[in-house]
Amino acid sequence: MPLTALATAASVPSPRRRRSALLLVPALAATLAVPGHASAAPAGPPAPVPAPAPAPAPGKQAVATGYGGAVATVDRDASRTAIEVLKKGGNAMDAAVAAGATLGVTEPYVAALGGGGYMTYYDAERRKVHTVDGRETAPKTMREDSFVDPATGRAIPFDQAVTSGLSVGVPGTVAQWDTALRRFGTRDLGTLLKPAIRVAERGFVVDQEFHDQTATNEARFRDIVPTGQLFLPGGEPPAVGSTFRNPDLARTYRELARRGPGWMYHGALGREIVRTVRKPPVDPGATRNVRPGLMQDGDLGAFRSRTPEPTRASYRGLDVYGMPPSSSGGSTVGEALNILNNFRLDSKDPVKALHYYLEASKLAYADRGRYIGDPDKVDVPLKELLSKDFARERACLIKPGQAATAPVAPGSPDGDYAPCVPPGGTARALTYEGPQTTHLVVADRWGNVVAYNVTIEQFGGSGITVPGRGFLLNNELTDFTLQPPAPGSPADPNLPGPGKRPRSSMAPTIVLEDGRPRLALGTPGGSTIITTVLQILLNRIDLGMDLPAALAAPRATQRNTPQVFAEQAFIDRYGAALADRGHLLAPFPGPPAGVIGAATGLEFLRPGVVQAVAEPVRRGGGSALVVRPAE
């Protein structure tokens, strides 16, 4: 049942380039739980409303409800930065960029100047959703076989591909910030970097998550001289409760504020990055094989952020917008929702709903692997993948009581559809995609909304720090398919190539009702991002949970693999019933083991009231804040 619109808030005059509008804030439908209250238990199988969540990590709150703007991130300092910008009159895009820069300090293993990301943005004045694509690109000399060892004819070992200059794509974060602020912001980049500079200079308190991420990377960090010097102070991972400072990054941010983005793409910082990629600063005593990269100065100068049209899918009366290719997030979420539109789902039978969710995901992932790549380099049939007719053709393959054996073959999004057409082509194995990224959401008092994924790929990216600059470089090019297909096999849209963007699963998502924002959400998690966003939407829209419950509920991910990987709480609750339908469930192997994603979201509840939601416990819990808390 769709969420029903109720009322509008008073308009607020907007200054130059600030996006203002009458903000329509829908009320909850009667069939959905009121935030903060449990739904009545229906007859039959128990509805999938989780038990009360454990308390958030110390100093963080997972849910905040109030007025004047809201933010949810994984980090308290980043959330405070966003709120500071909103209180000083900045808009949602200003706050998102400032928070992203702060995450570059406090979450340096997932967010950095050396990475990239995707943004979706709701412009309240024009009532339109936009995207900003800052995905990294491959150097112009990269070939389909650049990751293949000529001695074996096989792709080099994955760990060697990760910790190498070869894996480093041209960083897109700074160009993305520049494009986003010029088009949608009200503050300059230099101003928005100031909070992050303060945090870098003063330091932040090391929590268990930061310590564990450092310890996981300790061996390879030791082998890269500037990385070990920065992240292993005293030769060891920083202790929980200690203060971690990054004066090199503070100086880099200051110079970026003064010189602007051209310093990276046409100036000295870019040349330093290229030198580091081409000759990684490896400790002379290390035995690790850290391969040099292919990047050249001209690769940075050629980089451009993109602003493609978002994907759109209609679901239960809502419009769900997401990132188009090179991300597979928007197309795969949209296709799965279109498939689910063919079935009636409700909270009285959660096992049935979850069965259809898993089967729809399986089909959509098959099509993702076959058809999605960088649209500037390969032909992506995006319109057909998101068509209702193609979804009906795919949905006809789902059996109510029996899971299909995975992997299933992709469909044929060719515009010629009929009921129950057998799938065509050959199933493609799921390529590895590092789960270590981060996501934030921001809304401002004018009704603008940002959902923003930023990443450097693995925890710690390539492991290579630019000497004296305080930030790690990404390993995004390992998101390509590293091994070209055998002769005669179907073409792979995600092979490496010159100037090409590797496929991503990032899915910053904005949901509108009657043209006004209702929900915004996203998560880290590599290829599990898509299923996490899907499951949260299913929980919220079909299964009657409020957003905090929808986000905290135990998760499962089906990515067209023989097994459904799930968190233990999901297996405990639904494993037996889903096994009866033929699903093979196994604990999610990670990393981190047993934990799928670390989502953030927000919802407009009633006139003027926004609820921000972060993870209560996953990956140490997140931080939700509002400008003026509700009583």
Token readout for 69 is: 């703007």
Q: How far apart are CA 341 and CA 268, in angstroms?
A: 52
Q: How far apart are CA 615 and CA 593, in angstroms?
A: 16
Q: How far apart are CA 463 and CA 471, in angstroms?
A: 10
Cα separation values, 600 from 132, 139, 567, Å: 19, 33, 18
Characterize the bridge pairing of strands 564-566 and 311-315: unpaired
The active-site residue out of 437, 523, 528, 557 is: 437
Characterize the bridge pairing of strands 449-455 and 437-444: antiparallel
CB atoms within 10 A of CB 119: 29
Question: Cβ contacts of residue 486 below 8 Å, gap of 6+?
Answer: none
Please answer whether residues 548 and 328 qualify as being in contact, where contact means their C-beta atoms are separated by less than 8 angstroms: no
Cα separation values, 82 from 14, 72, 231, 295, 624, Å: 19, 9, 26, 34, 11
Query: Where are the extended beta strands (E) located within 222-268?
Result: 243-244
Question: Cβ contacts of residue 381 below 8 Å, gap of 6+?
Answer: 371, 413, 414
CB atoms within 10 A of CB 44: 11
Question: Cβ contacts of residue 571 below 8 Å, gap of 6+?
Answer: 585, 587
What kind and span of H or E run contains 395? helix 388-395
Q: How far apart are CA 297 and CA 309, in angstroms?
A: 30
Residue keyed to tokens 């970097």:
193
10 Å CB burial of residue 346 (0-12, 13-18, 19+) is: middle
Per-residue DSSP letter, 57: S
The verdict on whether 437 is a catalytic residue reads yes
Token readout for 400 is: 């109510």
Residues noted as catalytic:
437
